Amino acid sequence: MPASTRRALGAVLAALGVVFVVVGAWTVVRLGPSGEAQFAATSRAPGVIVVPADVLNAVDTPVRVTAARRDGGALVLAVGASADARAILTHSAVSTVSAVHYPSGGLDLQAWGAGALTNISGADVWRLAARGAGSATLLVDQARAPETLVVTSGDSSALKDVTVTLTWADHAWFFEALAMATLGAVLAAFAFNDLWQGRVGDVPAKVTGRRSSEARV
């Protein structure tokens, strides 16, 4: 392999190794040993908050959903089949979690509808539910996906200034990120060493060439 090609390949591998180290190390610090990824947003629009199936069931691991009211009022979190949830809330004012942003940890909320809210407490379509004053938490498994989660006040009064937090945790994510950082470090070390050896090897050749020219003169 020509020396120039080898140096170019070494530079590419070194850069790739550095990228792996930076991304892997940053992810290790971000997730921690628990492998926890957390996302949150505060709904300002009056109404219920909905976490649809494409977010709630986006990852094949349980998701912990926490809602907190600034005024300390009652909260109900309920999860059930998406079709049933849509039917109950079809005419209600809703703020839907439409996107999750990693690594910033943010959620996008999209408000729609302006109708009166429905008291969901009496419906028998909910598989899991949790209640609380000021805050409530519900751990949702993925056994019956697709499902939709709804956050309400427990009656027909509208919610406002409610912060919803979604947390996924998987220990494997931490070790995968650690493996990426380690692989990057090995790759970068190998590439930089090869580049250095090639540079050192070029020096005698240049010196020898210069001495041969001086001898001919």
Neighbours of 168 (CB within 10 A): 19
- Quickly state the pLDDT bin for 203 (edges 50, 70, 90): low
User: Helix (H, G, I), strand (E, B), or coil: what is residue 33?
Assistant: coil
Domain boundaries in the chain?
3-29+173-204, 36-169
- Antiparallel, parallel or unpaired: β 94-101 and 48-51: parallel
Give pLDDT tens digits for 94-123. 899 999 998 788 999 998 877 667 777 777
**The domain made up of 36-169 is a member of CATH 1.10.3470:** no
3-state helix, strand, coil in the chain (%, to 5): 40, 35, 25
Distance in angstroms (rounded) separating the CA atoms of residues 57 and 26: 25
pTM for the predicted model, two decimal places: 0.71
3 Cβ contact partners less than 8 Å away, ≥ 6 residues apart = 198, 202
- How many residues in total does the chain contain? 217
Nearest 5°: CA angle at 114, between 109 and 120? Answer: 80
